[in-house]
Chains A and B, each alone.
Chain A
Amino acid sequence: MDFSLSKKHLMAQSLFRSFAENEVKPLAQEVDETEEFPKATVEKMAKSGFLGIPVPKEYGGQGCDPLTYVMCVEELAKVCGTTAVIVSAHTSLCIDPIMTYGTEEQKQKYVPDLASGRKLGAFGLTEPGAGTDAQGQQTKAVLDGDEWVLNGSKCFITNGKQADVYIIIAVTGIVEKRGRKMKEISAFIVEKGTPGFSFGTKEKKMGIRGSSTYELIFTDCRIPKENLLGQQGKGFNIAMHTLDGGRIGIAAQALGLAEGALETTIKYVKERKQFGRSIAQFQNTQFQLADMATKVEAAKMLVYRAAMAKATQKTYSVEAAMAKLYAAEVAMEVTTKAVQLHGGYGYIREYDVERMMRDAKITEIYEGTSEVQRMVISGNILK
């Protein structure tokens, strides 16, 4: 076991750090305030290869490992939660399932454009009636000659409207399993601009306000037969496996938010004076910071371990669930304490910590709530 980062990982980390400091941090407040998708930043990230980090070179990616990708999301999240989730949803939820389940033709057609950032990806699973109960899908796909016809809607889709390529989960029939009738669920690749595919409401959110969260609407949307992703009826497995990977990305986002809040707070408490000395000299501050730093470090170990597991193991559901559960709860706790240590100023939007606290909350909810992670973890230890 080796806990030190290799020289290439250290250099990649310094790259992500300087990009985040110079290109992302100066815009973070404005992106939050205006709720505008940071298009120019996404273009810059595409140019620097940040949108295809774990994708093999032959598919236009950077040929790095999952740990490098996780470090990128982490460093971006330190300064801007919005920018981090754009990269995460694109890489983990769209490119990854195509790389894992796509045919060679599908990979050749979609991945090079996605990995180079010429196109952006998104993932559509959630519906108004199917959140944690992902089996409750209502969107239908019916084969009509050489085309699938999609009808239904998806909600809360990250990168919605901004993305060009969408992975959509839909019901393709009813099957009998152990005497019970069950929905047959399949996965599809749907391109923006396909007739019958439109966008509904843009969600107004508490945090990650620059990330584009939209409703997707399918009305007799016809896509080619060959856009079925993986085998017919395997859509649920594809979605669950995709989310295992996505959870590592969200765990990295949560970790970054916690680290960013901690760093900001350390700087603040050294400067801020009350009762004639810096507030860093009060033991309450010191103990709070010690707890925050220790939890951040523990979360980091879980997140990096999950990334290493994705690189080397066939399944990493439990590692991913533990990393996401713990990192998200640490992010929530650390950002809340960061606001407290900033006092009244922490509650003012001019200071970064209140944004970090708002951004942190979603990491306990999306890509599987903390309760879902506990279901995955306990299900594994009780089997």
Chain B
Amino acid sequence: MKIVVCVKQVPDTKGGVKFNPDGTLDRGAMLAIMNPDDKAGLEAALRLKDQYGAEVTVVTMGLPKADEVLREALAMGADKGILVTDRVLGGADTWATSTTLAGAIRNLEYDLIITGRQAIDGDTAQVGPQISEHLNIPVISYAQDIKIDGDYVIVQRQFEDRYHVLKAKMPCLITALSELNEPRYMTPGGIFDAYDAEVTVWGRADLKDVDDSNLGLKGSPTQIAKASDKVRKGAGEVVNLDPQESVAYIMGKLTEKHII
């Protein structure tokens, strides 16, 4: 079995957020980690590898320093890492990103593609399903459990108040939730090997069946018009009314601010 896992290097939410003048994130200036949902997806792939035997290839698109997440994936037990990096790919929205990743994945053999549900920086949850559309394969999102049955995958898909059990023929794409599992730790020896290993680097020329007009900032149907920090909350307000009136006042305020 061959599994491709898409991972993204995202800013560590514990660090501060920094923007470029064009409103996109200044990724180079922030502390970076592997996106938590992607890490769960990788762990799921590694468990399938442990259980059924599989070759796990990890793909990421990003700045050259995004090779760190590939080293991390290798140190956890992935077999191969591919970094897709090129100036023309910068500033991509979900459409351009999924086009790029699909273009890279077309060069690979796969039975299963696993992505995270969503990245904690963009928070769109769109790239996984879009990749499946580009590749014309089924998608099962929000996976909380994955099993293999011959040529099929059986997946529990999380829903608001229940889960659905879905069965799909491979090849297919699954988006994983961080609740899916607890990712394993790297090993120190795995880290040393990962830094001695070769990471494949692909540029624009290596993307298969992809039109230039669908790449990078120029190929993005959506553009970020403005980005700003959250407006700081003002000072608190002390309410000095009797209990009944206080409750009514507070509920009114919460409704007014769309909190409830």
- Measuring CB to CB, which residues of chain A are less than 8 angstroms from any residue of chain B? 6-8, 11-12, 15, 18-19, 48-50, 53, 57, 61-64, 68, 72
* In the assembled complex, B191 has its CB within 8 A of some CB on chain A: yes
Let me know if B195 and A7 touch, CB within 8 A.
Answer: yes
Selected from B184, B189, B194, the residue in CB contact (under 8 A) with A64 is B189
What's the least CB distance linking B190 to chain A, in Å?
8
Bound-complex Cα distance A30 to B186 (A): 26
Let me know if A63 and B191 touch, CB within 8 A.
Answer: no
Let me know if B189 and A11 touch, CB within 8 A.
Answer: no
Selected from A6, A7, A18, A53, the residue in CB contact (under 8 A) with B188 is A53
Let me know if B186 and A11 touch, CB within 8 A.
Answer: yes
* In the assembled complex, B185 has its CB within 8 A of some CB on chain A: yes
Output the nearest chain A residue to B33 by Cβ-Cβ distance.
A14
Output the nearest chain B residue to A7 by Cβ-Cβ distance.
B195
With contacts A12-B188, A48-B184 known, what are 20 further pairs, Cβ within 8 A?
Answer: A7-B68, A8-B194, A8-B195, A11-B72, A11-B191, A11-B194, A12-B192, A15-B75, A48-B185, A49-B187, A49-B188, A49-B189, A50-B188, A53-B188, A57-B189, A62-B187, A62-B192, A64-B189, A64-B191, A72-B188
What's the least CB distance linking B13 to chain A, in Å?
15
Contacts of A61 in B (CB 8 A): 189
Let me know if B192 and A63 touch, CB within 8 A.
Answer: yes
Output the nearest chain B residue to A19 by Cβ-Cβ distance.
B185
Bound-complex Cα distance A72 to B71 (A): 19
Task: Name the residue in B184, B190, B192, B194 with the highest tally of chain A Cβ atoms < 10 Å from its Cβ.
Answer: B192
Let me know if B75 and A11 touch, CB within 8 A.
Answer: yes
Output the nearest chain A residue to B186 by Cβ-Cβ distance.
A15
Contacts of B184 in A (CB 8 A): 48
Output the nearest chain A residue to B67 by Cβ-Cβ distance.
A7
What's the least CB distance linking A307 to chain B, in Å?
14
Contacts A11-B71, A11-B72, A11-B75 given; does A64 touch B185 at CB 8 Å: no
What's the least CB distance linking A147 to chain B, in Å?
37
Contacts of B188 in A (CB 8 A): 12, 15, 49-50, 53, 62, 64, 68, 72
What's the least CB distance linking A167 to chain B, in Å?
24
Closest 8 CB pairs of A and B: A62-B189, A49-B187, A8-B195, A48-B185, A62-B188, A64-B188, A11-B191, A15-B186
Output the nearest chain A residue to B72 by Cβ-Cβ distance.
A11
Find residues 143-199 in chain B having any chain A CB closer than 8 Å to their own CB: 184-192, 194-195
Find residues 69-110 in chain B having any chain A CB closer than 8 Å to their own CB: 71-72, 75
Contacts of B68 in A (CB 8 A): 7, 11
Bound-complex Cα distance A340 to B198 (A): 51
Task: Name the residue in B72, B75, B188 with the highest tally of chain A Cβ atoms < 10 Å from its Cβ.
Answer: B188
Bound-complex Cα distance A57 to B196 (A): 15
Contacts of B194 in A (CB 8 A): 8, 11
Contacts of A6 in B (CB 8 A): 195
- Measuring CB to CB, which residues of chain B are less than 8 angstroms from any residue of chain A? 68, 71-72, 75, 184-192, 194-195
Contacts of A68 in B (CB 8 A): 188, 192
Bound-complex Cα distance A327 to B71 (A): 33
Bound-complex Cα distance A48 to B71 (A): 16
Bound-complex Cα distance A20 to B188 (A): 14
Contacts of B71 in A (CB 8 A): 7, 11
Bound-complex Cα distance A263 to B166 (A): 49
A-B contact pairs, 9 of them (CB 8 A): A7-B71, A8-B192, A11-B194, A11-B195, A49-B188, A62-B187, A62-B192, A64-B191, A72-B188
Bound-complex Cα distance A7 to B82 (A): 19
Bound-complex Cα distance A68 to B71 (A): 17
Bound-complex Cα distance A15 to B184 (A): 11
Let me know if A63 and B189 touch, CB within 8 A.
Answer: yes
Bound-complex Cα distance A7 to B186 (A): 15
Let me know if B185 and A12 touch, CB within 8 A.
Answer: no
Contacts A11-B71, A11-B72 given; does A48 touch B195 at CB 8 Å: no
What's the least CB distance linking A50 to chain B, in Å?
7
Contacts A7-B195, A63-B192 given; does A48 touch B187 at CB 8 Å: yes
Bound-complex Cα distance A126 to B190 (A): 37
Contacts of A62 in B (CB 8 A): 187-189, 192
What's the least CB distance linking B58 to chain A, in Å?
15
Bound-complex Cα distance A53 to B71 (A): 18
What's the least CB distance linking A40 to chain B, in Å?
15
Bound-complex Cα distance A19 to B184 (A): 10
Bound-complex Cα distance A49 to B187 (A): 6
Contacts of A15 in B (CB 8 A): 75, 185-186, 188, 191
Contacts of B191 in A (CB 8 A): 8, 11-12, 15, 64
Contacts of A48 in B (CB 8 A): 184-187
Bound-complex Cα distance A343 to B163 (A): 52
Output the nearest chain B residue to A8 by Cβ-Cβ distance.
B195
Contacts of B195 in A (CB 8 A): 6-8, 11
Contacts of B75 in A (CB 8 A): 11, 15
Bound-complex Cα distance A64 to B195 (A): 12
Bound-complex Cα distance A142 to B72 (A): 53
